Structure 1
């Protein structure tokens, strides 16, 4: 009885490990992208306060690279 339960949970665990790993990678990427979006939004707000509109700032960023 105990061996059957262990086997079933072992198979379930081996199925869940890659799912959990993929989900944690997704969360990491999502966190990085949201941090980048926040940084860009804050920089655009700061630029707009100085009197430069956001479109010209984005064009500047595009031509700077």
Structure 2
């Protein structure tokens, strides 16, 4: 599974890495607790993409939704 990481260089991500999922918030997307994720940095990200984001220094896997309001 490849996940987009928009603007990953400022997050300290190399161009490619493997990490383990923790938790079950993405189970509806088929990502389960302890799954191994093959993450690839990407410079373009679109709404609906699965992305790795960092909130309070904690990386999270989420589906990107853009709200411009």
Q: TM-score, normalised by structure 2?
A: 0.16
Structure showing greater relative contact order (alpha-carbon pairs closer than 8 Å, 6 or more residues apart): 2
- Name the larger-Rg structure: 1
Q: Which has the higher strand share?
A: 2
Q: Which has the higher helix share?
A: 1
Q: TM-score, normalised by structure 1?
A: 0.16
